[in-house]
Amino acid sequence: MKLARLLLACMLAVTVVMPLEACGSFFNNKYSIIVAVSVGSCFTVGLRSDGTVVATGRNTDGECDVEGWSGIKAVAAGYDCTIGLRNDGTCVATGWRFSDEYYVEDWSGIIAITTRGHTVGLRSDGTCVSTGLNNSGECDVEGWNGITAVSVDTSCTVGLRSDGTCVAVGWSSRGQLDVGDW
């Protein structure tokens, strides 16, 4: 009897570790792991490992209506919208479309996205495209080149160039855009 209990205890104590790929279809749909998140205004968006998207929180303007999105490799949550970057470099959006800020469906060649009152896409050639509110020049990125990363806030956009320098446009109320000598 003691031997049987010992064998049972040993069997229960064994942990099997296997690579994620070996789990196969177990990690799909609601069981897919979250690989990226973005927080908007009172809502959160998650990108699953299988390229689908989930969202939770306030959905008054459709910002959480991401059901059915697939082939997504990045997400960005804004005030009232969600932007998805597809594997093919195009974008999809849902939410409130005030002042065209989320009209990104005709973009292509995009490798990164960011949104917050306006939306900026980084193209594979190092240039940027933007749409949305431009009250302070925050969308004036058309002359940028050599950009490797971009970030936005409600009234400004900052880009990092491949040589390590930065460029910025928009409203600098507290010196937040004084990055020209970086």
Residue 11 has pLDDT above 80, yes or no: no
Answer yes or no: are the C-beta atoms of 128 and 116 closer than 8 Å: no
Q: Mean pLDDT over residues 130-152, rounded?
A: 95
Q: What is the pLDDT of residue 100?
A: 67
Encoded tokens for 29: 């749909």
Q: Which pLDDT does position 21 carry in this prediction? A: 45
Handedness of CA 108, 109, 115, 119 (dihedral sign): negative
Helices (H), the chain: 2-13
- Distance from C-alpha of 92 to C-alpha of 31, rounded to nearest angstrom: 23
pLDDT at res. 87: 98
pLDDT of res. 158: 98
| Cβ neighbours of residue 81 closer than 8 Å, sequence gap 6 or more | 40, 61, 63, 93, 94, 95, 96, 97, 101, 102, 115, 119
* pTM, 2 dp: 0.81
Which residues have a Cβ under 8 Å from the Cβ of 160 and sit 6 or more positions away? 147, 148, 149, 150, 166
The yes-or-no verdict on residue 25 having pLDDT over 90 is no
Whether 3 shows a pLDDT value over 50: the answer reads no
| pLDDT bucket at 128, cuts 50 / 70 / 90 | very high
pLDDT of 33 > 60? The answer is yes
- Domains of the chain from N-terminus onward: 31-170 (2.130.10.30)
Q: Which of 17-26, 58-67, 87-96, 137-146 has the lowest mean pLDDT?
A: 17-26
